[in-house]
């Protein structure tokens, strides 16, 4: 278990004096996949943390980062360490559905707010303490179905991970496609670590679908795409918003040209209207992130990390007026501020959580993009 700590305790005395009477130090625990096969989806969160601000809500903040390697058991251990040893005020993570879901039990038990950094389902029993940050899967899958209908497609086949992320995408496709009159003609699964998917791909192709939806993420989503192309499939191939990283394009090369996927507005920040509030926030994030990690390094996944920071910053500004960081009262105040109904403009959405809605975004917070000439472009 690797540990990364970014601390900003020593601030100027004048700044500290201007803070609320309760203010000391806010601790934020972030667990993510920084090593292993799904690291391409976790590393952007760690990288974003290196350009996070030194304060939240005007109070010094300590960012505590732990690697879970996409292992639910490790993710739970990380969450336990956060609440039992580090005494964090809020948990961010994890960066995969299966690990974020595993951590949520600890968040609820300890009454510590958790912002999931990968799409997850939130049962009613967990609603008081668990928030979902990335676009809910049904919102994104509906964008795919809309694009299919726009292009007169009537059938779709599915191949996705044999895990919770695959389940989320399959369930959303099954619901949205049937509602919109799109016929699902085949469904197959594969493991993230598989080195061949020829057999399931041939089964999909035997059903002659107008389009194929790959319910995967990161570079592991490249394998079925490349296999479809190698086997002569000429239909449209859609992916999840978990593939919008430079690593996906680098791994797939020319084979993933024309791949389509929904994503947040940050990808098209420069093309957004000037009066769109997301534009300014996105361009500010891109400047800071790429200033550290290089031109073209910013992605919606890194944007989610930035948005999580913005949400906690806004909530902390209110919570520090009511309670002292490091106490149950402060954690409750953070939770209440997060679900107050106040809008927070991020890079991927304008977030608004309420006590009964911890998903926070709707269909306005998405665009359809495609891979063109080795880069992500707005789809036409």
Residue 133 has pLDDT above 50, yes or no: yes
Residue 8 has pLDDT above 50, yes or no: no
Helix spans in the chain (H) = 13-17, 39-49, 72-81, 97-110, 137-150, 164-179, 198-206, 222-230, 246-252, 277-293, 300-319, 328-338
pLDDT of residue 1: 55
Q: How far apart are alpha carbons 329 and 26 in whole angstroms?
A: 13
Q: Which domain holds residue 337?
A: 3-135+281-351
| Residue 235 and residue 119 share a domain | no
CATH number of the domain enclosing 255: 3.40.50.2300
| Residue 290 and residue 328 share a domain | yes
Instruction: Kindly state whether residue 377 falls inside one of the protein's structural domains.
Output: no
| Residue 105 and residue 151 share a domain | no
Question: Which residues have C-beta within 8 Å of that of residue 234, sequence separation ≥ 6?
Answer: none
| Residue 183 and residue 163 share a domain | yes
Residue 89 phi/psi, 5-degree rounding, is -90, -20
Find, among 178, 235, 182, 187, the residue nearest to 208 by Cα. 235
pLDDT of residue 5: 52
| Residue 167 and residue 155 share a domain | yes
Instruction: Kindly state whether residue 375 falls inside one of the protein's structural domains.
Output: no
| Residue 150 and residue 228 share a domain | yes
Q: Which has more pLDDT, 23 or 380?
A: 380
pLDDT of residue 3: 56
pLDDT of residue 9: 39
331 within 8 A of 337, measured Cβ to Cβ: no
| Residue 41 and residue 105 share a domain | yes
pLDDT of residue 182: 98
| Residue 171 and residue 126 share a domain | no
Instruction: Kindly state whether residue 199 falls inside one of the protein's structural domains.
Output: yes
Q: 95-104, 223-232, 264-273: lowest mean pLDDT where?
A: 264-273
The sign of the dihedral angle between the CA atoms of 127, 128, 130, 132 is: positive
Residue 59 has pLDDT above 60, yes or no: yes
How many angstroms separate the Cα of 173 from the Cα of each of 69, 112, 208, 238, 304?
28, 32, 18, 12, 23
Instruction: Kindly state whether residue 273 falls inside one of the protein's structural domains.
Output: no
Give the chain's domain count.
2
pLDDT of residue 10: 40
For 164-199, what is each residue's pLDDT tens digit?
999 999 999 999 999 999 999 999 999 999 999 999
| Residue 145 and residue 101 share a domain | no
Interval 314-338 mean pLDDT: 97
| Residue 128 and residue 7 share a domain | yes
Tokens 């917070």, residue located: 365
Tokens of 287: 């400047």
Q: Which has more pLDDT, 6 or 145?
A: 145
Instruction: Kindly state whether residue 216 falls inside one of the protein's structural domains.
Output: yes
pLDDT of residue 152: 97
Instruction: Kindly state whether residue 298 falls inside one of the protein's structural domains.
Output: yes
83 within 8 A of 106, measured Cβ to Cβ: yes
Tokens of 109: 């038990």
Q: Which has more pLDDT, 17 or 24?
A: 24
For 264-312, what is each residue's pLDDT tens digit?
999 889 888 899 999 999 999 999 999 999 998 999 999 999 999 999 9
Interval 313-327 mean pLDDT: 97
Tokens of 181: 């009159």
Residue 23 has pLDDT above 90, yes or no: no
């Amino acid at each position: 278990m690797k540990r990364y700590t970014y601390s900003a305790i020593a601030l100027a005395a004048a700044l500290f004096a201007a803070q609320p009477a309760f203010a000391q130090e806010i601790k934020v625990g972030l667990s993510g996949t920084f090593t292993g096969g799904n690291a391409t989806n976790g590393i952007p969160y760690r990288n974003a943390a290196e350009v996070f601000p030194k304060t939240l809500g005007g109070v010094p903040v300590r960012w505590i980062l732990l690697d879970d390697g996409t292992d639910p058991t490790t993710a739970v251990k990380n969450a336990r360490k956060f609440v039992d040893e580090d005494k964090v005020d809020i948990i961010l993570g994890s960066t995969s559905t299966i690990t974020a879901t595993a951590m949520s039990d600890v968040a609820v038990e300890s009454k510590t707010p958790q912002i999931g950094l990968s799409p997850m389902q939130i049962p009613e029993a967990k609603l008081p303490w668990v928030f979902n940050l990335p676009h809910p899967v049904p919102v994104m899958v509906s964008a795919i179905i809309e694009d299919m209908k726009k292009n007169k497609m009537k059938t779709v086949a599915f191949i996705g991970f044999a895990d919770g992320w695959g389940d989320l995408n399959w369930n959303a496709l099954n619901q949205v496609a049937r509602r919109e009159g799109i016929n699902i003609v085949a469904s197959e699964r594969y493991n993230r670590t598989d080195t061949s998917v020829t057999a399931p791909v041939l089964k999909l192709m035997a059903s002659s679908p107008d389009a194929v939806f790959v319910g995967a993420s990161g570079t592991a989503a490249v394998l079925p795409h490349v296999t479809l192309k190698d086997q002569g499939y000429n239909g449209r191939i859609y992916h999840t918003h978990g593939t919008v990283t430079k690593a996906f394009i680098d791994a797939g090369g020319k084979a993933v040209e024309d791949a389509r996927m929904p994503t947040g507005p940050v990808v098209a920040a420069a093309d957004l209207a000037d009066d769109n509030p997301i534009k300014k926030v996105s361009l500010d994030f891109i400047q800071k992130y790429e200033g550290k990690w290089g031109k073209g390094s910013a992605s919606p996944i890194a944007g989610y990390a930035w948005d999580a920071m913005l949400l906690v910053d806004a909530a902390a500004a209110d919570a520090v007026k009511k309670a002292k960081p490091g106490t149950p009262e402060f954690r409750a105040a953070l939770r209440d501020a997060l679900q107050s109904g106040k809008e927070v403009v991020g890079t991927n959405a304008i977030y608004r959580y309420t006590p009964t809605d911890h998903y926070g975004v709707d269909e306005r917070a998405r665009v359809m993009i495609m891979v063109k000439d080795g880069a992500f472009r707005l789809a036409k």
